[in-house]
Amino acid sequence: MLKLASLCFPDPEKSCFYCCPPIRDPEADTLDNIEERRAALRLNRKNLAENILRAQEIPGDSCWGLGFLDDAEKQAGCLLHPLRHNGRDLRHLTGYQFKCANALCREALVFAELSPDEQKFCLTLCRDMDSFTYSSRSNPLMRLLAWEAGVVRFVIDDSRENKPPFIDKYAFLWQELDFRLDGFLVFEILKKAGTDFLCQRLAPYILFRNRLIEDLRTLQNERPGQGLTSAPLLPVHKLDIPLSLSRLLKFGADLWELPAAGRESILSKTEPALEKFLHS
């Protein structure tokens, strides 16, 4: 069963409201124009009854149903949620009830895969944040949770045992790496060689990953009748390979479709290169 409540509402001091409204600019962040946002959340709470009477479809960059949930202005969230209206869902008044009710970020899904103990550790990283900083995708926890649960677990285990603060040791994950390009390789390296190996070889790792991407890109060049492109093409995420490897193909090598047999070519390039790097 999904355990989402604690990432959205970690404690009484804050909440996440990043996914409101679900039709917003995906680049918009809760720390943008923070004073304007704060004023809007305050006003929406104050004018809720009136706004409900004059309900209008939301424009996309804001929602009149999004407001502070408490007088102390600590938590922010949906003022139209059924939990605030004895089970009546008023989100349809904004025109996007379905999207609102189904909004679920990648970070919440990854968080839900963690054990209660791991979740607790994650939330300690945000102990002193307010709702704006907590919701922001510059929040290191949210950045960490963009990676797959396997990588997150390695980071948590290492951070529990080691002295350097999590943020000092692992900021490279979002400052120098990208979960879409590096998710597969980083997880393999962590499994086989551990966190210190990766941390100490970051520059060589980036070189290795870029060379591998160049090599994978050559799969695109094989001619019909001579190689992979003669067979029916499948989206790479449908190949029998880890999803994280299909992201490397798409976002790194710009390979979005390959024949099913392409799996062998991908693995024959990836596995030996990875082994070589691990023993370098």
Give the interface with ligand SF4 as residue ranges (CB under 6 A): 7-8, 16, 18-21, 63, 65-66, 78, 80, 91, 94, 96, 100, 103-105, 107-108
- For the CB of residue 91, give the shortest distance to ligand SF4 in the complex, in Å: 4
Nearer to ligand SF4, 41 or 212 (CB): 41
Distances (CA, A) of 38 to 47, 69, 76, 138: 14, 12, 10, 18
For ligand SF4, give the closer residue by CB, 156 or 212: 156
Strand pairing class (76-78; 234-235): unpaired
**Smallest separation, CB 92 to ligand SF4 (Å):** 9
Least separation, in Å, of the C-beta of 21 and ligand SF4? 4
Cβ-based nearer residue to ligand SF4, 108 or 155: 108
The smaller minimum CB distance to ligand SF4, of residues 79 and 245, is found at 79
Residue 228 to residue 231: CA distance in whole angstroms: 6
Q: Which is nearer to ligand SF4, 110 or 216 (CB)?
A: 110
* Choice between 67 and 252, CB closer to ligand SF4: 67
